[in-house]
């Protein structure tokens, strides 16, 4: 009986202890599963090719390797331990993310992974925002990953929260800076140790470095006093170099966390930021650290679909040391041969980097390689790779403003500007001229060179007595890839005291005409109309003079002899439901001429058969240009038409039309200003029309 009673008491004691043990087990097991975060870096780039206000995020994280079954490089893991999600800052977020393993560090038990688009095996994450900026704050969107917990063995912030964020905006042309690091930096004990947090920016913006705040990073206990160790980290804001005197208060094997924010400025104004979160481990000092080299050293500049190769080598000055070469991650599609990590003797090991960036991978990349020896000493080397879009060399273009031809009398000045531009970014263009009349000048003088965005030179001349006659000047613009184009201008110089007044042109629609007809009255009160040249003619017949039965086609010239004070020409459409083009050059007996171009708006009541967006004229232009388009008849009485202008980054510059438009033919002028009325910079622009399912885009050049 006593034995049974004793067993019952023992059972009751165990029964009371079991819930406590279960509670203790849950308390200590949960953080152990969650305390896996070792590194974080979140960047973004705009994707206007997908949709307006769309970003592509690259999220790189490091987690405990053994927590996912020690997967190899290339494996895909689901981040179920910490349940990492990406918060976009607009109230939405991803589900729990999957990662492709891009590097493993077995000796330190962590992997580095690149997040995948949810539901796919495609690297990076696409998200579309509702507006260029957060309308609630009128400031950039803030995307982040944030959770619990950091690893429990940290000296500072053990089991603490972490947060890694970046700013996203579409009101300016921009993409975030980038960085790269191994998750754990080995810091020699009792040393004045230094290392760099690398940074690069595809837009060339100024970068500065600072330690992240507690709100940005979740780090409430930074490295240094008032707690241990004795000395804080010191960060050079201009270079990203961190120096740390590990003397006093540190011990081999201790782990510390830190986060650095890289800010970008344009014109002194802060426009964005990214963060790099990493760990420092105190290691012993035995001999000298290993050495890492890249050959050729870079930086490298290539184009999409162009191969790149270089060799990464490592060695150690300490005989007998074993060294290991690894990487903090490669760009998508890049390989190392042999694959990393690799280990070998102190005399040297190497691996070859190979990459052919695919279409769409343009940008700037930092690839960091790390070498460490068997004592824990570590060194790194970083390759900076700039990938540009493939070059398609379009020829430059030149324009004369005003376009001419010019008729002046001896002793009277004539002036015009020759401008040139090139649609290919980075090209250098050169403007030359030939057959300039004696006494004429160009300012600046020719040849004149400058960037693709635009150059110009002004012609000035006052013909002297005896210089009467006709002069044709040819200007040639050539880029650094030997593509060229020409523009010409004619100057007619009359003797002093003779007729120098240009003819006039008056156009009216013939009432009740079917098909539609135009009467074009050409007048010159001085020496009289002498010739009428047909410069353009499509979908129309042209009778000169009207009633004579003489019809002319493009390129032909009607001679009025003797010259008349006025002449009447009639243009009649061939197909009434299609657009027509007519342009005449009228010259009087004294050599004065004028261009007569009946615009589409004159016959806009005619309904075209199809939709069309024509090339702007003039092109290149400055200060304004005209864009013509056709709207066909549909079931709706009026279709909604949008006509917008964009820069080459896809940013909207100006909305010209955004309303319902009846069928017809139209012309609209753009004066090179944006939606706020500000003048835009010289360069290449896109204009795009959308009418229902119809859309068409063309390119134009604003000359400098």
Cα angle 99-100-103, degrees, rounded to a multiple of 5: 115
What is the Cα–Cα distance from 276 to 594, expressed in whole angstroms?
66
Average pLDDT over residues 647-670: 83
Residue 340 contacts residue 371 (beta carbons within 8 Å): no
Q: How many degrees, rounded to 5, is the angle at CA 140 between CA 170 and CA 63?
A: 100
Output the CA torsion 101→97→166→114 (10° steps).
Answer: 10
Q: How far apart are CA 110 and CA 67, in angstroms?
A: 9
Q: What are 595's strand-pairing partners?
A: 585
Question: What pLDDT, on the 0 to 100 scale, is given for residue 636?
Answer: 58
Q: What is the pLDDT of residues 583-614, one digit of tens each?
A: 788 998 888 888 776 543 333 445 667 788 99
Joined tokens for residue 6: 């004793």
Please write the tens of the pLDDT for every residue from 677-688. 789 999 999 999
The CA distance from 4 to 336, in Å, is 71
The whole-number pLDDT of residue 536 equals 81
User: In terms of pLDDT, which residue wins out, 600 or 361?
Assistant: 361
**CB-based contact 479:427 (threshold 8 Å):** yes
CA distance 43 to 121: 19
Identify the weakest region by mean pLDDT among 10-24, 71-85, 295-309: 10-24
**DSSP H or E segment with residue 82:** none
**Average pLDDT rounded to a whole number, residues 251-259:** 95
What's the distance, Cα to Cα, between the start and end of the chain in Å? 108
d(CA 106, CA 73): 11
pTM over 0.75: no
Residue the block writes with tokens 């600046």: 444
Determine the Cα–Cα distance for residues 392 and 396; give it in Å rounded to an integer.
12
Other Cβ atoms within 10 Å of 396 Cβ, number: 28
DSSP annotation of 197? -
**Sequence-distant (≥ 6) Cβ neighbours of residue 393 within 8 angstroms:** 424, 427, 479, 481, 483
- How many C-alpha atoms does 255 have within 13 Å on its Cβ side? 16
* Cα-based angle 462, 467, 471 (whole degrees, multiple of 5): 85
Cα pseudo-dihedral 153, 156, 160, 166, rounded to 10: -120
Read off the pLDDT of each residue in 284-298 and give the average, rounded to a whole number.
92
Domains of the chain in start order, with CATH, are 37-283 (2.60.40.60), 291-388 (2.60.40.10), 397-494 (2.60.40.10), 504-601 (2.60.40.2410), 612-702 (2.60.40.1930)
- Assign residue 345 a region (left: φ > 0; alpha: ψ between -120 and 50; beta: otherwise): beta
User: 11 phi and psi, to 5 degrees?
Assistant: -65, -40
Structure confidence at residue 25 as a pLDDT band (50, 70, 90): very low
- Structural tokens at position 694: 């119809």
Q: How confident is the model at residue 33 (pLDDT cuts 50, 70, 90)?
A: very low
* Strands across the sheet containing 694-702: 652-661, 639-646, 683-691, 694-702
Q: Is 157 within 8 Å of 219 (Cβ atoms)?
A: yes
Strands 342-345 and 255-266: unpaired
Tens digit of each residue's pLDDT (9 = 90 or more) over 157-191: 999 999 999 999 999 999 999 999 999 999 999 99
Nearest to 562 by CA among 613, 527, 533: 527
Q: What is the pLDDT of residue 15?
A: 34
Residue 472 has pLDDT above 70, yes or no: yes
Q: Higher model confidence: residue 684 or residue 633?
A: 684
Q: Which residue has the tokens 């042309």?
A: 173
| 351 closest CA partner among 375, 374, 367 | 367
Count how many residues are written for the chain. 704
Question: Are the beta carbons of 467 and 410 closer than 8 angstroms?
Answer: yes
Higher-confidence residue of 248 and 508: namely: 248
Q: How far is CA 57 from CA 100, 214, 406, 659, in A?
A: 15, 23, 57, 35
Average pLDDT, the chain: 87
Residue 543: CB atoms within 10 Å: 18
Q: CA torsion sign, 615 to 618 to 623 to 629?
A: negative
Question: pLDDT digits over 539-590, tens only?
Answer: 889 999 999 999 999 999 999 887 788 999 998 888 876 667 787 889 988 8
The pLDDT assigned to 498 comes to 66
Angle made by CA atoms 92, 96, 97, in degrees to the nearest 5:
100
pLDDT tier at 23 (50, 70, 90 boundaries)?
very low
Residue 420 has pLDDT above 70, yes or no: yes
Task: Strand 664-670: give its sheet, edge to edge.
Answer: 612-613, 625-631, 664-670
Task: Decide if pLDDT at 334 tops 50.
Answer: yes
Q: Which of 223-237, 405-419, 509-523: highest mean pLDDT?
A: 405-419
pLDDT of res. 635: 61
CA distance 569 to 522: 8
Q: Residue 19: what pLDDT?
A: 36
Round to whole Å and give the CA distance between 592 and 68: 85
pLDDT > 50? residue 409 = yes
Q: Among 578, 573, 505, which Cα is nearest to 541's?
A: 573
Query: Nearest-CA neighbor of 67 among 33, 38, 101, 97?
Result: 33
């Amino acid at each position: 009986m006593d034995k049974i009673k004793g067993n019952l008491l023992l059972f009751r004691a165990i029964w009371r202890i079991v819930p406590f043990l279960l509670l203790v087990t849950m308390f200590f097991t949960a953080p152990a599963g969650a305390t896996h975060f070792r590194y974080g870096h979140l960047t973004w780039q705009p994707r206007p090719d997908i949709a307006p206000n769309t970003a592509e995020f690259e999220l790189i994280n490091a987690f405990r390797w053994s927590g996912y079954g020690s997967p190899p490089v290339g494996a895909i893991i689901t981040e179920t331990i910490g349940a990492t999600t990406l918060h976009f800052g607009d109230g939405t977020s991803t589900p729990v993310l999957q990662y492709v393993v891009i590097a493993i560090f077995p000796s330190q038990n962590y992997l580095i992974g690149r997040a995948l688009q949810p539901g796919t095996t495609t690297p990076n994450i696409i998200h579309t925002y509702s507006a260029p900026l957060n309308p609630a704050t009128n400031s950039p969107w803030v995307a982040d990953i944030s959770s619990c917990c950091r690893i429990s063995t940290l000296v500072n912030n053990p089991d603490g929260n972490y947060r890694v964020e970046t700013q996203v905006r579409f009101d300016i042309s921009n993409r975030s800076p980038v960085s790269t690091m191994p998750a754990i930096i080995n810091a020699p004990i009792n040393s004045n140790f230094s290392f760099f947090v690398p940074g690069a920016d595809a837009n060339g913006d100024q970068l500065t470095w600072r330690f992240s705040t507690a709100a940005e990073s979740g780090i409430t206990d930074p490295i240094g006093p008032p707690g241990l160790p004795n000395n804080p980290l010191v960060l050079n804001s201009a270079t990203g170099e961190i120096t740390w005197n590990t003397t006093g208060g540190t011990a081999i094997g201790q782990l510390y966390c830190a986060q650095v924010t890289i800010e970008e400025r344009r014109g002194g104004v802060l426009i964005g930021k990214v963060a790099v979160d990493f760990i420092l481990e105190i290691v012993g000092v035995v001999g000298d650290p290993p050495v890492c080299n890249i050959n050729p050293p870079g930086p490298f500049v290539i184009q999409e679909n162009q191969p790149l190769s270089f060799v990464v080598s490592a060695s150690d000055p300490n005989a007998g040391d074993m060294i290991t070469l690894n990487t903090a991650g490669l760009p998508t599609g890049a390989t190392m041969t042999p694959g990393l990590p690799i280990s070998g003797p102190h005399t040297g090991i190497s691996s070859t980097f190979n990459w052919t960036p695919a279409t769409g991978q343009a940008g700037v990349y930092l690839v960091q390689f790390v070498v460490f020896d068997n004592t824990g000493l570590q060194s790194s080397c970083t390759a900076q790779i700039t990938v540009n879009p493939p070059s398609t060399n379009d020829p430059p273009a030149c324009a004369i403003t005003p376009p001419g031809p010019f008729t002046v009398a001896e002793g009277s000045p004539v002036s015009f500007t020759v401008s040139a531009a090139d649609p290919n970014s980075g090209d250098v263009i050169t403007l030359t001229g030939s057959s300039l009349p004696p006494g004429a000048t160009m300012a600046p003088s020719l040849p004149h060179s400058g960037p693709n965005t635009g150059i110009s030179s002004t012609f000035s001349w006052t013909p002297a007595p005896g210089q009467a006659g006709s002069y044709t000047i040819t200007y040639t613009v050539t880029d650094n890839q030997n593509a060229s184009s020409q523009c010409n201008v004619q100057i007619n110089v009359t003797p002093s005291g003779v007729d120098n007044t240009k003819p006039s042109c008056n156009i009216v629609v013939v009432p009740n005409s079917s098909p539609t007809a135009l009467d074009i009255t050409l007048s010159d009160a001085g020496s009289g109309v002498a010739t009428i040249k047909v410069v353009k003619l499509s979908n129309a017949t042209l009778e000169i003079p009207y009633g004579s039965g003489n019809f002319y086609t493009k390129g032909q010239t009607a001679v009025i002899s003797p010259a008349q004070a006025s002449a009447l020409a009639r243009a009649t459409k061939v197909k009434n439901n299609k657009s027509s083009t007519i342009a005449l050059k009228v010259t009087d007996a004294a050599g004065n001429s004028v261009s007569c171009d009946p615009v589409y708006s004159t016959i806009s009541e005619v309904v075209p058969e199809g939709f069309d967006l024509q090339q702007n004229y003039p092109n290149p232009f400055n200060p304004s240009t005209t864009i013509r388009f056709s709207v066909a008849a549909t079931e709706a009485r009026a279709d909604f038409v949008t006509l917008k202008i964009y820069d080459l980054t896809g940013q909207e510059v100006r909305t010209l039309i955004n309303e319902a438009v009846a069928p017809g033919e139209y012309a609209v002028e753009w004066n090179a200003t944006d939606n706020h009325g500000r003048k835009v910079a010289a360069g290449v622009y896109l204009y795009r029309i959308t009418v229902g399912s119809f859309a068409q885009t063309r390119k134009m050049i604003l000359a400098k």
